[in-house]
Structure 1
Amino acid sequence: MDSSSLRERQKERRRARIYSVALDLFKRGGFQATTATDIARASNVSRGTFFNYYPYKEAVLLDYGSEVMDRLRDQAEARLAAGTPPLTVLYEVWDQLAEENGRERDLFPPLAYEVMNPNPERARTAYQALPLSKVIELILRPLHQAGMIRTDLSLQRISNLIADTYLMVALRWSAYGTDRTLQEETRLALNLLLEGALRREGPPPAPRTP
């Protein structure tokens, strides 16, 4: 192994350690209460080294969100390949995302705010790291190809609207809470959106949760 490859592996391991330590601190002490200095100290690196890997604290959450999106995409692709109806896959992915965000309730607001960051570069980075609309588009594409989705709006736009709605519903639930669980809130929103997107009468039947 040459020296450049060794350095790259060391950098990857260091980044993975910083990421793991940071998430643990966020979950135990809260995102807002955890500082970059706390993360650096617990990771046995300097504060400057932390910022070499993560230019701002929220960037750690983007890695976390990206991992979640990768899992959901892999699940969606596998379920579609197995012949599972697209709407069933969409509800499964929707519920899993709500479960994840409900379990890590403290992490979702700062992650969601990054997508709406007034700094265009940070907002673009967050959008690219959290491609929920792309996962939704992947799931709905078979319905679009079969002519089951309205054609006056593009599939991309419909998917973006659904993803944006999830973001706002989950953000409001995380910040204020309701009498419903996050899964119930997001399912209600999805039902309403699909009622307008699908080319048929009445709302789509939501698969029952086992």
Structure 2
Amino acid sequence: MTESSLRERQKERRRARIYSAAIELFKETGFEATTATEIARASNVSRGTFFNYYPYKEAVLLEYGSEVMERLGEHARARLGAGVTPLEVLLEVWDLLAEENTTERDLFPPLAYEVMNPNPERAKTAYRALPLSGVIEIILQPMHEAGQIRPDMSLARISNLIADTYLMVALRWSAYGTERPLREEMRLALDLLLGGALKRPEMLP
């Protein structure tokens, strides 16, 4: 092993240690209450080293969210490849995401707020790290190719609207709660969205 590759592996291990310590602290004491100094101490690095890997505390959450999106994308591709219908796959992904958000309820609000950060560069970074609309577009692509999606809107726009709706409904649920579990809230929202996204009868051939 060369010296440069050894350094890279050491950096990867250090980053993983910082990430794991940060997520554990977020869950134990809450995101807002956790400081960069505490994360650094828990991961046996200096505060400056923490910021070398994560320029701001929310960047740790973006890595967590990116991992979730990657798992959802892999699930969607595998299920579509197995012949499951796109709408069934969309429901599965919707439910998996609702389950993740329910389990990690305290992590979702600061993650969602980062997508809406007034700093455009941070908002753009968050949007790229959390490509839910891209996962939805993958799922709906077969329906688009089959002419089952309304033609007056692009597939990308429909996917973005569905992803944005998930974000807002889940954020409201996480912050305020409702009588329904998040899974039910999201299914209701998806049902409403699909009623507008699928071709209306007068548009059918």
* CA RMSD in angstroms, aligned pairs only: 0.7
Moved over 6 A (4+): none
1:42 aligns with 2:45: no
1:141-195 superposed Cα distances (whole Å, 9 cap, x missing partner): 0001001110000000000000000000000001100001111111100000000
Match of 2:13 in 1: 13
Match of 1:97 in 2: 97
Identity among equivalent positions (%) equals: 79
1:74-98 superposed Cα distances (whole Å, 9 cap, x missing partner): 0000000000000000000000000
1:190 aligns with 2:160: no
Match of 1:208 in 2: none
Match of 2:149 in 1: 149
Letter in 2 for 1:33: A
Residues 86, 140 of structure 2: 8 Å contact kept: yes
SS of the residue aligned with 2:69? helix
1:199 aligns with 2:199: yes
Q: CA deviation at 1:29?
A: 1.0
SS of the residue aligned with 1:118? coil
Q: Distance in 1 between matches of 2:82 and 2:185?
A: 29
Q: Distance in 1 between matches of 2:111 and 2:74?
A: 21
1:7-55 superposed Cα distances (whole Å, 9 cap, x missing partner): 1110000000000111011111111111101100000000000000000
Letter in 1 for 2:83: G
Map of 1:13-162 to 2, 5 A cutoff? 13-162=13-162
Letter in 1 for 2:86: P
> Unaligned regions of 5+ residues in structure 1, if any?
202-210
Q: Distance in 2 between matches of 1:106 and 1:27?
A: 7
If the length of structure 2 is used for normalisation, what is the TM-score?
A: 0.97
Q: CA deviation at 1:200?
A: 4.8
1:165 aligns with 2:135: no
Match of 1:204 in 2: none
Q: Distance in 2 between matches of 1:58 and 1:39?
A: 12
Q: Distance in 2 between matches of 1:5 and 1:149?
A: 48
SS of the residue aligned with 2:72? helix
Q: Distance in 2 between matches of 1:161 and 1:120?
A: 20
Match of 1:180 in 2: 180
If the length of structure 1 is used for normalisation, what is the TM-score?
A: 0.95
Match of 1:205 in 2: none
Residues 150, 200 of structure 2: 8 Å contact kept: no
Letter in 1 for 2:195: E
Aligned residue-pair number: 201
Q: Distance in 1 between matches of 2:157 and 2:137?
A: 9
Q: Distance in 2 between matches of 1:36 and 1:183?
A: 33
